[in-house]
Amino acid sequence: MTVTIVGSQLGDEGKGGVVDLWGDAADVVARYQGGDNAGHTVVEDGTEYKLSLVPSGAVRGKVGVLGNGCVVNPSTLFEEIDDLRERGLDPDVRVAKRAHVILPYHRVLDGIEEEAKSESDQEVGTTGRGIGPTYEDKAGRRGLRIADLLDPEVLREKLEYVVPQKQRLAEEVFGVETGEEFDIASLYEEYRRYGERLAENDMAVDAGEFLANRLDDGDEVMFEGAQGTLIDIDHGNYPYVTSSNPTAGGASTGTGLSPGIVGGGEVVGIVKGYLTRVGSGPLPTELGGVVGDTPGYDEQGEGDNEELATYIREEGGEYGTVTGRPRRVGWLDMPMLRHSARANGFTGLAVNHIDVLAGLDEVKVGHSYDLNGEEVFTMPATTERWHDCEPNFKTFEGWDDVDWAEVADEGYDAIPENARAYLEYISDELDADIYAVGLGPGREETVVVENPLE
Ligand code: IMP
């Protein structure tokens, strides 16, 4: 059977921890979209692992698969694998032959376009990993795929076609001088070597076939979504999105398994107990703001909400795993979560960071929005209308800071009553059971109500 783990908000919901928590019962952990823009933190026996491309399951000896829906930077891939090896692990990672390859010029173009957009305040705040430009080339049918690295002749042919175009784009459209990232000969040498390493280690696979065979053999497969529903290219808040489909449908197109297989398993929505956002775009329930990211926010403000935002940011360690940028912080947004539950079809929920909110007098939730005098319960389709939404808050009584490891040990009923009321509200609104509650960063600080793979 399969379990798909999906971020229900704007990314950074703590998916890696949940994958890691349930990963024991999985045999294979597959990613279906995104690339090294994802940041996954896994804590194992007090040791912290930060991964951006290798599926988190690799820390626990699971087979990791990067599906065809992923964009792969081979340099990051091998760096992470080598780092895990140096730390005594032996990761088994397979990469879809149909996955697209991030090349150095994609990163350069990512930066150039962000820079150009910033002149009119339109930058997305990307992670700068070349994600968008790589998916553009995929859709434009000029991308390089993992299989092309295994065939030097094809590799050279494709580079010869595409690189001069990219160079002209950088130089003639954006007026930027280019360097070795656009040098066909050195790209060819470097990427041919990556191909050799992939072949030597038998890493390149037909992902759909590989996964179908594993399922036929009775293996449990977990699909690890990166980013979140609200930065999905189709269902997110365009254009402040990533260029792939983190939503559950992506688990089918991004692996080569049928929608029936994905839908026949469980789809678990990961919810952070409040809200964070990296980069620009609206955030109706935002507390305070982050200079450079919150639209129209040019200097650090003051007041209770600013203090609260700073408090939550510090308590929750809300700084980007990949970029180290401070995250914007807000209260939970229910219209966003209802939209997410519909788009993904959650069969269960894992709610994280409940400990971070402990000690506050009250905890608020944006229950609905006021949009042009009308109360709405889900998100409007455009970023402009979403920006106009004013949240109607519902207030919950706060809960005390307690020994969370002890609570996790005792189980769900040991969670403070007010926190349980909060969790039950979320579960009722989204019509999905709570499968897990995160009370701290470690595996031992999580209450597991149900493990969907057991
Ligand atoms: P890109 O994926 O680097 O193109 O960035 C596009 C948008 O998605 C930006 O707003 C990023 O901050 C956001 N983003 C990308 N990956 C993540 C993630 O793993 N967590 C949170 N936000 C992300």
At 20, which CATH number? Answer: 3.90.170.10
pLDDT given for residue 44 in this prediction = 72
pLDDT given for residue 196 in this prediction = 98
Judge whether 249 lies within some domain: yes
My answer on whether 166 and 287 are in the same domain is: no
pLDDT at 288 over 90: no
pLDDT at 374 over 90: yes
Check if 367 is active-site.
no
Residue of 37, 50, 110 to test ligand 1 pocket, by largest number of atoms within 8 Å of CB:
37
pLDDT digits 0-9 by tens, 438-453: 999 877 899 999 999 8
pLDDT given for residue 116 in this prediction = 95
Judge whether 448 lies within some domain: yes
Check if 12 is active-site.
yes
My answer on whether 294 and 437 are in the same domain is: yes
Judge whether 442 lies within some domain: yes
Average pLDDT, stretch 246-267? 98
Ligand 1 midpoint to CA 126 (Å): 5
Q: 51 in ligand 1 pocket by Cβ < 6 Å?
A: no
My answer on whether 171 and 239 are in the same domain is: no
Ligand 1 midpoint to CA 88 (Å): 30
192: left (phi over 0), alpha (psi -120 to 50) or beta: alpha
Residues in the chain: 454
Q: What is the band of 346 on the pLDDT scale with cuts at 50, 70, 90?
A: very high
My answer on whether 285 and 396 are in the same domain is: yes
Share of the chain above pLDDT 90, in %: 83
Rounded distance between C-alpha atoms, residue 36 and residue 95, angstroms: 14
Q: CATH number, domain at 180?
A: 1.10.300.10
State phi, psi for 322 to the nearest 5 degrees: -85, -45
My answer on whether 269 and 337 are in the same domain is: yes
The pair of three-digit structure tokens given for residue 289, joined into one six-digit string = 């703001």
Judge whether 78 lies within some domain: no
- Asked whether the beta carbons of 159 and 137 are under 8 A apart, the reply is no
Q: 224 in ligand 1 pocket by Cβ < 6 Å?
A: no
My answer on whether 174 and 211 are in the same domain is: no
Rounded distance between C-alpha atoms, residue 292 and residue 334, angstroms: 26
Whose CA is closest to atom 10 on ligand 1?
279
Edge-to-edge strand ranges of the sheet holding 92-96: 204-205, 92-96, 63-66, 28-31, 221-224, 2-7, 266-272, 348-352, 433-438, 446-448
SS3 assignment, position 108: helix
pLDDT at 43 over 80: no
- Identify the active-site residue in 12, 36, 148, 232: 12
Longest dimension (CA), the chain: 65
Judge whether 88 lies within some domain: no
SS3 assignment, position 424: helix
Q: 74 in ligand 1 pocket by Cβ < 6 Å?
A: no
pLDDT digits 0-9 by tens, 120-153: 988 888 999 999 999 999 999 999 999 999 999 9
Q: 242 in ligand 1 pocket by Cβ < 6 Å?
A: yes
Q: 16 in ligand 1 pocket by Cβ < 6 Å?
A: no
Q: 131 in ligand 1 pocket by Cβ < 6 Å?
A: yes
SS3 assignment, position 162: helix
Rounded distance between C-alpha atoms, residue 184 and residue 191, angstroms: 10
The tokens 């992506």 sit on which residue? 250
Rounded distance between C-alpha atoms, residue 366 and residue 391, angstroms: 5
Strand 92-96 relative to strand 328-330, pairing: unpaired
pLDDT at 274 over 80: yes
pLDDT given for residue 203 in this prediction = 98
Rounded distance between C-alpha atoms, residue 192 and residue 195, angstroms: 5
Whose CA is closest to atom 1 on ligand 1?
126
My answer on whether 212 and 179 are in the same domain is: no
pLDDT given for residue 50 in this prediction = 85
Average pLDDT, stretch 165-177? 97
The pair of three-digit structure tokens given for residue 137, joined into one six-digit string = 């080339």
- Asked whether the beta carbons of 33 and 295 are under 8 A apart, the reply is no
Strand 362-371 relative to strand 374-376, pairing: antiparallel
The domain in which residue 322 lies consists of 1-25+207-216+227-454
Average pLDDT, stretch 374-391? 96
Average pLDDT, stretch 379-405? 96
Judge whether 67 lies within some domain: no
pLDDT given for residue 434 in this prediction = 98
Whose CA is closest to atom 21 on ligand 1?
11
Amino acid at 404: W
One-character DSSP codes across 347-410: SEEEEE-TTTTTT-SEEEEEEEEEETTEEESS--SSHHHHHH-EEEEEEEE------HHHHHHH
SS3 assignment, position 164: helix
The pair of three-digit structure tokens given for residue 164, joined into one six-digit string = 């001069």
Whose CA is closest to atom 20 on ligand 1?
11
My answer on whether 407 and 309 are in the same domain is: yes
Residue of 227, 229, 238, 241 to test ligand 1 pocket, by largest number of atoms within 8 Å of CB:
227
Q: 14 in ligand 1 pocket by Cβ < 6 Å?
A: no
Judge whether 135 lies within some domain: yes
My answer on whether 184 and 211 are in the same domain is: no
My answer on whether 180 and 286 are in the same domain is: no
- Asked whether the beta carbons of 316 and 365 are under 8 A apart, the reply is no
Closest atom of ligand 1 to 131 CA is 4
Average pLDDT, stretch 162-177? 98
My answer on whether 253 and 134 are in the same domain is: no
Average pLDDT, stretch 177-193? 98
- Asked whether the beta carbons of 34 and 70 are under 8 A apart, the reply is yes
pLDDT given for residue 321 in this prediction = 73
Tell me what the pLDDT averaged over the chain comes to. Answer: 94
- Identify the active-site residue in 36, 40, 100, 355: 40
Q: Taking Cα atoms as reference points, which of 130, 380, 358 lies closest to residue 244?
A: 130
The upper half-sphere exposure of residue 367, i.e. CA atoms within 13 Å in the direction of its Cβ, equals 12
Buried b (16+ CB within 10 A) or exposed e, 336-373: bbbbbbebbbbbbbbbbbbbbbbebeebbbbbbbebee
pLDDT at 325 over 90: no
- Asked whether the beta carbons of 128 and 322 are under 8 A apart, the reply is no
Rounded distance between C-alpha atoms, residue 285 and residue 331, angstroms: 5
Rounded distance between C-alpha atoms, residue 15 and residue 228, angstroms: 9
Average pLDDT, stretch 78-94? 95
Judge whether 247 lies within some domain: yes
Share of the chain above pLDDT 70, in %: 100
What is this structure's pTM?
Answer: 0.95
Check residues 16 and 361 and name the one with the higher pLDDT.
361
- Asked whether the beta carbons of 235 and 244 are under 8 A apart, the reply is no
Closest atom of ligand 1 to 7 CA is 20
Q: What is the band of 302 on the pLDDT scale with cuts at 50, 70, 90?
A: confident
Q: Taking Cα atoms as reference points, which of 437, 392, 271 lies closest to residue 340?
A: 271
Closest atom of ligand 1 to 241 CA is 7
Q: What is the band of 252 on the pLDDT scale with cuts at 50, 70, 90?
A: very high
Rounded distance between C-alpha atoms, residue 312 and residue 305, angstroms: 10
Q: 36 in ligand 1 pocket by Cβ < 6 Å?
A: no
Q: 229 in ligand 1 pocket by Cβ < 6 Å?
A: no
Closest atom of ligand 1 to 231 CA is 8
Ligand 1 midpoint to CA 435 (Å): 26
How many domains is the chain partitioned into structurally?
2
My answer on whether 165 and 211 are in the same domain is: no
